[in-house]
Amino acid sequence: MSGILNSSIGRKFAMALSALFLMIFVLQHFAINFLSVVSPDTFNEVSHFMGTFWVIQFVIQPILIFGVIFHFVMGFVLEIRNNKARKISYSKNNPSDNSTWMSRNMIWSGGFILIFLIIHMIDFWAPEINIKYFKGDMTGLIDPDNVNSGFRFYEELVHKFEPIWRVALYCLGFVFLSLHLLHGFDSAFQSVGANNKYTKGLQGFGKFYAIVIPIGFIFIALFHHFNH
């Protein structure tokens, strides 16, 4: 593993795989969150299952956390190495002629997304972990009639989207995610060698994903803000 990560191609390949893994998680996360719009009861039930099933909690969740950390650390490492590798100054080489604005600023969009992700985890993940594993409440997580039942997923979601500043932050975060994905999806498939007759189809799917999924998250935030 260390040998792979010591090469430029290996690092880009590992970065691409971690990105594709996180995109699958984001899609799954969106599907569950969208249930809060169409069926609060179903959203609570699915969230309860995701929050208590031991495979998800003790196998998939640690892998996901590792994937997030790895992706961001590798992204910053690649950016630093790329900056050091540039021997031609911008005064002699206009970067806008050879690359898009997004490709030159992935580090900044990634940094904002990281800050947004930390706030999101403080909002939702940290309280859930506190109640389940520090307070020991693993049974009545979705009982709205029991004031001592602990974390109630739908009620907490609605409560978090009441302040307009938090909704604005979330919307901005998903705008940056969209911009990040628009470049990152193509880059990821190029890094894993997916440059063939399916390339145009993959690029079309990537643009669709990068636009529709963030817009979907924004819709969820705005829906709960204006309807409760």
pTM for this one?
A: 0.81
In Å, how far are 1, 15, 72, 169, 181 from 119, measured between CA atoms? 31, 23, 16, 10, 20
Walk along the chain (228 residues) in steps of 10 and give the mean pLDDT of each run.
61 80 92 95 87 88 91 82 61 54 70 87 84 66 51 83 94 91 73 65 85 96 93
pLDDT at 179 (0 to 100)? 87
Q: Is residue 69 part of a domain?
A: yes
Q: Is residue 94 part of a domain?
A: no
pLDDT at 95 (0 to 100)? 54
pLDDT at 131 (0 to 100)? 74
> Taking a C-beta distance cutoff of 8 angstroms, is the pair 14, 74 a contact?
yes
pLDDT at 79 (0 to 100)? 75
- What CATH number has the domain bearing residue 73? 1.20.1300
In Å, how far are 19, 93, 168, 170, 202 from 68, measured between CA atoms? 9, 34, 23, 18, 23
> Which stretches within the chain are classed as H helix?
2-5, 8-38, 40-52, 54-55, 61-85, 101-104, 106-120, 126-129, 153-160, 164-191, 199-226
Q: Is residue 37 part of a domain?
A: yes
pLDDT at 142 (0 to 100)? 47
Provide the number of structural domains found in the chain.
Answer: 1
**Is residue 136 left, alpha or beta, with left meaning phi > 0 and alpha meaning psi from -120 to 50?**
left
pLDDT at 215 (0 to 100)? 97
Q: Is residue 92 part of a domain?
A: no
Domain enclosing residue 143, as ranges: 2-87+99-226
